[in-house]
Chain A
Amino acid sequence: MTIPKLERIRHKAVSDTLFSFLLIAPALIVLGVTVLVPILKGVYVSFCNYKLATLNNPTWNNFQNYRNLFADGDIFAYLKNTIVYVFLAVAIQYVLGMAVALLLNSKIRGRKVLRGAFLIPWTLPSVVVAILWRWMLQQQFGVINYLLYKANITDTVNIAWTTDAVLAMAAVVMAAVWRKFPYIMVMLLAALQSVDQSLVEAAKVDGASYWKTLIHITMPAIRPVTITAVWIAMMTNFQMYTIISNMTGGGPVNATTTLSLAAYKAAFQSYDFGEGAAIGVLWMLLLGVITVLCNRLSEKYATD
């Protein structure tokens, strides 16, 4: 009697597996065709002569794409720009997002309405954000230049945001932060709201100050969400093309050209697909290193 039962269980297990693979098959097919295969092919063509003329016949070119990149040294500028841009954008997004989340987490009325209002910039299309900030930062008649001048922060109303290397980077960071900080804010606020209040109260009873409670109780409690939110912010800022491209076009003289812009320009403006792919491969290597570091970090805290 036991044997048929066992067989029945095994039969059920197999068909459960089959059923779940049927359920996930469409997703795997779409992601396979549009992500996995293109990425693998992308890595392959980064080692090939792969231009419009050689599109049907990519041939091995002995690291020529990579050697070109390193020979003119521009790649180091792109790497530096990417790291500066991603670091500034994520750091400011986090600080601003956390500040607003803490304010909204305190005892206030109309929290949901306020949260919704703060989220509006996040809903705007990135192209709109770029054009809007470009208009606000316009050299002669931009409202920001005017307000800075009226507030006596600057001594001229004529600030050329897009033709100065440092200011151009500041401009794209500002626009990107404005569009994206609400996302971090909402995640952190949700995490803050789920923090066990009895711990916070206990710390207060023990006489801990607001800042001490924040650093020793609240921040550790929301650490997993913080790491997720920061990681997502890093990924999306690495991919950022739209805002930078439409605000500065990567200029002045490549000062805001990140890896994302450089790869796109190489591939779709110079039609050197191999070179574009090579930039992408370096980018993936950089991301790989960062991801490993992030995982180490979250593992370290997980075992604490």
Chain B
Amino acid sequence: MKNKKTKLLSVVKYAVILLLLLVILFPIIWMGISSIQPSNKLMTLPPEFFPSSPTLANYARILTNSKYLRYFANSFITAGGTVLACILISVPCGYAFSRYNFPLKKSILTFVMSVQMFPIVVILITLYTYYMKWGMLSTYRGLILTDTAFALPLAINLMKSFFDTIPKSLDESAKIDGAGRLRTLWSIVLPLVVPGLLAVGIYTFLNAWDDFLMALTIMQDVDMKTITVGLAESFLGEYAYDYGALMAFSLCGSLPIILLFVFLQKYMISGLTAGAVKE
């Protein structure tokens, strides 16, 4: 009797999970379906769940538009630059917070973590005027700098918790063997936190790629716009009401991070939870 009941319960459970998953993933499936339909087919009722005349024309329009290819390149350059800057800065910083005691350590850590609380808009107001004076509007380094600043708190916290998992005795034995402090970090400890570096890298890339507000404000020149800003603009202008093209464009704009996620999921999830859950 009981066995039958638990079996039924487990069937129901799998059914609920799969149904929920279908609902959650439906928008992405719908994006895919819409992207391979000509726009006149989209503007009909009932909507076609199985496209009667699938076409790749929408993708061809996006991928042959040199303006949009340029936006893709800009997104890759800024996101890549942000990842590089973020790792270079967060590794030594996280290591210091994990290994050393120094004055004001707690206050500094609190300040670093509270950065995400400050209204980005207020920061942008001032940065915008600074960048204007420094000639950093519409430059890669300008956007990389702000993207880095907003990725740093989490990156530092992540690196710290990854370093925390490496026993300190390792540092000490390296020291006894005569290794200097930088050498200990570089060739003894760092190789052990490669999963942490990957987690920070992926997370930073994702955030920089997602950024819209800062790119919108800082990248004023048409040539310097990133893919997210380009998408929003085409939605209002060139492809207004052309949802087939918009969905193809959206899918192209999401593809780099979906691929990154599919292949490096393990590291990303370990990064998501490392800061919060101490195991």
A residues within 8 Å of B by Cβ?
A: 16-17, 19-24, 26-28, 30-31, 33-39, 41-42, 45, 55, 100, 103-104, 106-108, 114-121, 123-128, 130-136, 138, 140-141, 143, 146, 157, 178, 183, 186-187, 190-191, 194, 225, 228-229, 232, 235-236, 238-239, 241-242, 246, 259-260, 263-264, 267-268, 273, 276-277, 279-281, 283-284, 287, 291
Contacts and interface: CB of A to CB of B under 8 A. Distances in A.
Contact of B17 (A104, A125, A127, A283): A104
A135 B247 contact: yes
Contacts of A146: 45-47
Interface stretch (B53-61, B166-174, B189-197, B252-260): B252-260
Nearest to A39: B118
B65 interface: no
Please give me the 10 A-B residue pairs with the lowest Cβ-Cβ distance, nearest first. Answer: A280-B122, A38-B126, A190-B273, A23-B96, A34-B149, A42-B122, A23-B92, A20-B100, A27-B93, A20-B96
A35 B118 contact: yes
A121 B27 contact: yes
B146 A42 contact: no
B118 A125 contact: no
B117 interface: yes
A30 B145 contact: yes
Contacts of A191: 276-277
Given A31-B149, A135-B246, A186-B273, A128 B231 contact: yes
Interface of B is mostly: helix
A301 B272 CA distance: 24
B88 interface: yes
Contact of A187 (B119, B209, B277): B277
16 contacts: A23-B92, A23-B96, A30-B149, A31-B112, A34-B123, A35-B115, A36-B111, A100-B20, A108-B14, A121-B27, A124-B257, A127-B228, A127-B232, A186-B272, A194-B277, A246-B232
Nearest to A29: B89
Given A141-B43, A280-B121, A123 B102 contact: no
Identify which of A37, A225, A239, A277 gathers the most chain B CB atoms within 10 Å of its CB: A239
Contact of B97 (A24, A128, A143, A190): A24
Contacts of A123: 206, 254, 257-258, 260-261
Contacts of B246: 131, 135
B243 A135 contact: yes
A37 B100 contact: no
Given A108-B17, A128-B254, A225-B276, 13 more contacts: A23-B92, A27-B93, A27-B112, A31-B112, A39-B118, A41-B126, A124-B257, A194-B279, A225-B277, A241-B121, A246-B212, A259-B119, A284-B122
Given A103-B13, A241-B213, A120 B261 contact: yes
A276 B122 contact: yes
Given A45-B126, A131-B231, A27 B24 contact: no
Nearest to A291: B117
Contacts of B232: 127, 130-131, 246
A28 B243 CA distance: 45
Given A24-B108, A187-B276, A115 B13 contact: no
Interface in B214-234: 217, 227-229, 231-232
A10 to B, nearest CB: 14
Interface of B: 10, 13-14, 16-17, 20-21, 24-25, 27-28, 30-31, 34, 42-47, 88-90, 92-93, 95-97, 99-103, 108, 111-112, 115-130, 132, 145-146, 148-149, 152, 156, 181, 206, 209-210, 212-213, 217, 227-229, 231-232, 235, 243, 246-247, 250, 253-254, 257-258, 260-262, 265, 269, 272-273, 276-277, 279
A241 to B, nearest CB: 5
Nearest to B274: A190
A116 B265 contact: yes
A118 B24 contact: yes
Nearest to A236: B116
B276 A283 contact: no
Identify which of B28, B103, B276 gathers the most chain A CB atoms within 10 Å of its CB: B276
Contacts of B28: 120-121, 124
Contacts of B277: 187, 190-191, 194, 225
Identify which of B42, B88, B210 gathers the most chain A CB atoms within 10 Å of its CB: B210
A281 B20 CA distance: 41
Contacts of A264: 121, 124, 213
B210 A125 contact: yes
A45 B126 CA distance: 9
A277 B27 contact: no
A120 B44 CA distance: 29
B231 to A, nearest CB: 5
Contacts of A120: 25, 28, 258, 261
